[in-house]
Structure 1
Amino acid sequence: MALSYKARRRWSLVILLVAMPLYVVVAVNIVALFERPSILIELLVYVGLGVAWVLPLKSIFKGVGQADPEAEE
């Protein structure tokens, strides 16, 4: 079942305002598990985690910045 445009907008706000800060805390804690990682390893972990959250949520954010396609003109 596909989400409506309004539902996708609401979920995208919840994700960006609530879930994203929590995800950042988790990402920083994952990097902190390594004793003293080199800057390259730290960069790779942050880039990997930065891409990892986008892939499952891509369908929610797709088209949210556009005008509502279901709205009356």
Structure 2
Amino acid sequence: MALGYKARKRWALVILVVGLPLYVVVALNVVALFDRPSFLVELAVYIGLGFCWILPFKFIFKGVGQADPDARD
């Protein structure tokens, strides 16, 4: 079952409000596991975790910033 435009927009907002802070906490804890990582290692971990976080939600965010295709003019 495909989500409608309004449902995807609501879920995107929930994911950003709840999921993004959780991602930040997890990313900081993963980087803290390393003993003083270099800047490049730290950057690679943040980028890698960012891709792993957003890939499952890609279908929800796709097209949310555009106008509602079902709206009447």
Identity %: 71
Rounded to whole Å, the distance in 2 between the matches of 1:69 and 1:12 is 17
Aligned residue runs from structure 1 range 1-73, under 5 A = 1-73=1-73
Counterpart secondary structure, 1:53: helix
After TM superposition, the score normalised by the length of structure 2 is 0.93
Equivalenced residue count is: 73
Deviations 1:7-28 (A, max 9, x none): 0000000011111111111100
Moved over 3 A (4+): none
